[in-house]
Structure 1
Amino acid sequence: MISVMSQNSQKPPSKPFHSPFPNARSEGESDASSEEAKPVHQIAMPEALAGSGALDRLVATARDYARQATADNTNAAYAKDWAHFTSWCRRRGANALPPSPELIGLYIASCAAPEAKAPARSTRALSVSTIERRLSGIAWHYQQRGFALDRKDRHIATVLAGIRRKHARPPVQKEAVLAEDIIAMVATLGFDLRDLRDRAILLIGYAGGLRRSEIVSLDHGKDDTLDSGGWIEIQDDGAVLFLRGKTGWREVEIGRGSSELTCPVHALEQWLHFAKIDFGALFRRTSQDNRRVLDARLSDKHVARLIKQTVLAAGIRSDLPEAERLALFSGHSLRAGLASSADVDERYIQKQLGHASAEMTRRYQRRRDKFRVNLTKAAGL
């Protein structure tokens, strides 16, 4: 049984003890809610130094670098994780600070099997992957506040192991957009500004095996914008994309296709020419009358909507109801499509997708020949 730690078992000597339960506060203890609400990335000036304008600017620069240590999407997800956890604590009269492994063990158990009397928004059981992500977000926020959360503590590790054992399911994979599919999808687009842009997005995203966030973060040139996630260089034989991904910077080579109608580099050149883009964000919004290009960078949500829209227009998986077809496809369908359609050595696909392991690449290969190597016959049977 998970026991509750006593006051003596907590060991952050420089900080007052906060019991996870109400009416058990130590003398002189302040409300933890103000500490919970403090922003993260609290880079401060050393106490031994006297403040100055130059040092203040340096502190601001350090804070900006600290914010960029993790991707914006990761920061947003971790913020939601922390907000959910602290809200759960408040509803039960518990303090989120300092970290209590017992309390977090109860929290992840509640996420896997919500109480019947919990608010309606909290009654849905979370998947194992979501619970693990929430635990990562909570640990990250504790670290930003100067605490260390021991995820190997038995109150957390054993509960999480039990949740995995009972509730773990194979991951739900999105349908891959295959070669014949992407050709049919771009055929539904016209040749006005918006369609030229969308054609380039689909073909570049497919041929590069890009995440939707990587597509919209591209700039025309290096260091064009502050929020750039990479840039392009168009050459005679194709285009080279310099991308800042999850695992650091990588180069993605996209060769020219066999037909101008389906060539990703030609589609990109057409978009840049007619949109008159030679600086800044590569993929941008267009005006309502579709006659001019605006400065605003596209949201990555546009890529997901575009894929769903063209899937329907092309009649892909028309054997299914529309709602099911929409649920099958997402931004990751482009990455899975390249991995499933390209008949090349697996190592080249792994490099293109930026995966650290071949095992991750195989998860994207929907049509991979699983019995290419027959160990049964090789063993003499």
Structure 2
Amino acid sequence: MPSWPDALQRLEGAYSDHTLRAYRSGFVAFSSWCRRRRRPALPASPETVAAYLDEESARLKPATLKQRLCAIRKIHQLSDLKDPTAHPDVELAMRRARRAQPTRPKQALGITATLRDQLLAACADDLMGLRDKVLVSVGFDTLCRRGELVSISIEDLTRTGQGRYTVLVRRAKNDPEGTGRIAHLSTQSTALIDSWLDKLGTERGPLLRPVYRRRVPALHLTPATVSRILKRITARAVEVNVSKKVSGHSLRVGAAQQLTLDGKGILQIMRAGGWRSMNVVARYVENIDADVWN
């Protein structure tokens, strides 16, 4: 029987790097727990997995436990072993974990059009400030997740007959085959991109890049950097307490909320953001302040 890292290596190229890291870290956590209790992690018995869930549910959220179960299941499948997570005892343990922590998922503060404009005005006038403006404006227009946003390359941009850009969002969380979707950029985003590309002096490579004083290497930003940039600009534009509620998902949330405020239907919003579930979109827009409708 191959070791579980060898088994996991078979997934290279078939799954995203994020998914592979989640499988790896999830099974490492489970195997460490098993080692401390002198239980085999591979193959694991249903009793072991259920005991793991019961114990860890005191400190881990149900969503995290679900991710760990996915890792345990996948490693066993790749090793041609019986899946212990399919046993009724494991299902019952997971139900106990969910009932013990009945929480709603926290939603990031939505950056709607008003806050977006405040962020753009707060960006510095230097090279990094221009990059930040492109990030904010393009992120809002495309409703991209942070990983999708930093993956955009200059080659993904196409100028339309109206003079504005469209961008091909090549790969999304719910689009593992990379079919992609076309997002339309505003005149404002187009002008910012033109200024940014003029500074870069290139028509190839990552659109959003790290800036080290006057040096801009041809590297993609990391998804985590999006969160830090948005928090930094929000703290400058509004206040620190507001910035704490902002995440890398705030542009996507806020743009969906803005489309709702603009009277767009849920199918239009789903198409704009590449959603396939109405329930997800409904959660995004449920926190809109009712006062803005009056």
TM-score by length of 2: 0.89
Shift of 1:97: 1.1
Task: Write the mapping of 1:140-179 to structure 2, written as runs, cut at 5 A.
Answer: 140-179=74-113
| Shift, 1:148, TM fit | 4.1
Identity of aligned residues (%): 26
Q: Which residue of 2 aligns with 1:367?
A: 288
Match status 1:247 vs 2:192: no
Q: Which structure carries more helix by proportion?
A: 2
State the Cα distance separating 1:210 from its structure 2 match. Answer: 0.7
Q: Indicate the residue corresponding to 2:251 in structure 1.
A: 334
8 Å CA contact retained: 1:127, 1:168: no
User: Helix, strand or coil for the counterpart of 2:244?
Assistant: helix
Instruction: Note closer, same or farther for the CA distance 1:254–1:132 as it changes in structure 2 (3 Å cut).
Output: same
For residues 109-120 of structure 1, the aligned pairs below 5 Å read: 109-113=54-58
**Secondary structure, aligned partner of 1:267:** helix
- Structure 1 counterpart of 2:102, one-letter code: A
Unaligned runs of 5+ in 1: 1-14, 16-33, 43-65, 114-124, 222-230, 258-262, 373-381
What is the Cα deviation at residue 104 of structure 1? 0.5
* Mapped partners of 1:162, 1:330: distance in 2: 30
Normalized per residue, which structure has more strand? 1
Alignment partner, residue 3 of structure 1:
none
The answer to whether the 8 A contact 1:175-1:329 is kept is yes
Partner of 1:75: 20
Distance, in Å, in 2 between the alignment partners of 1:101 and 1:199 is 52
- Radius of gyration: which is bigger? 1
Counterpart residue identity of residue 268, structure 2: Y
Name which of 75, 85, 102 aligns with 2:30: 85
Shift of 1:38: 3.7
Q: C-alpha distance in 2, partners of 1:70/1:187?
A: 39
Tell me the CA shift for residue 212 of structure 1: 0.9
Instruction: Name the SS for the 2:184 alignment partner.
Output: strand
- The separation in 1 between residues aligned to 2:86 and 2:21, in whole angstroms, is 25
Q: Name the residue aligned to 1:40.
A: 8
Give CA deviations for 1:125-148 in whole Å, capped at 9, x if unaligned.
Answer: 111111111111221222222234
SS at match of 2:288: coil
Partner of 1:209: 143
Offset of 1:150 from its aligned partner? 5.0
- The answer to whether structure 1 residue 283 and structure 2 residue 208 are counterparts is yes
Q: Distance in 1 between matches of 2:4 and 2:36?
A: 15
Contact 1:41 1:67 in 2 (8 A): yes
The answer to whether the 8 A contact 2:230-2:248 is kept is: yes
Q: How many residues align?
A: 282
**Take 1:98 and 1:208, find their aligned partners in 2: how far apart are those partners?**
45
User: Which amino acid letter does the alignment assign opposite residue 361 of structure 1?
Assistant: V
Structure 1 pair 155/220, CA: closer, same or farther in 2 (3 Å)? same
Q: CA offsets per residue over residues 163-208 of structure 1, 9 Å max, x none?
A: 2122221111111112110100011113322111111011101111
The SS at the match of 1:285 is coil
1:308 aligns with 2:234: no
Greater relative CO (CA pairs within 8 A, separation 6+): 2
User: Is the deviation greater in 359-368 or in 338-347?
Assistant: 359-368
Computed over aligned residues only, the root mean square deviation of the Cα atoms, in angstroms, reads 2.0
Alpha carbons 1:362, 1:368 under 8 Å: kept:
no
1:184 — aligned with what?
Answer: 118
TM-score (norm 1): 0.69
Deviation at residue 368 of structure 1 after TM alignment: 7.8
Aligned with 1:328: secondary structure?
A: coil
Show the counterpart of 2:217: 294
Corresponding residue SS for 1:151: helix
Residue 253 of structure 2 is aligned to residue 325 of structure 1:
no
| Separation in 2, partners of 1:150, 1:240 | 47
Partner letter of residue 41 of structure 1? Q
SS at match of 2:85: coil
- Is the counterpart of residue 268 in structure 1 residue 193 in structure 2? yes
| Counterparts of 2:254 and 2:48, CA distance in 1 | 43
CA distance in 2, matches of 1:368, 1:133: 33
Q: Partner amino acid for 1:299?
A: T
Distance in 2 of aligned mates of 1:99 and 1:157: 15
Distance 1:184 1:198 in 2: 13
Matches within 5 A, 1:92-107: 92-107=37-52
Give, in whole Å, the separation in 1 of the partners of 2:102 and 2:167: 37
Residue 40 of structure 1 deviates from its aligned partner by 1.5
Question: Runs in 1 of length 4+ with deviation above 4 angstroms?
Answer: none
Residue of structure 2 in register with 1:200 after alignment: 134
- Name structure 2 gaps, 5 residues minimum: none
Asked if structure 1 preserves the Cα contact closer than 8 Å seen for 2:167 and 2:185, the reply is: no
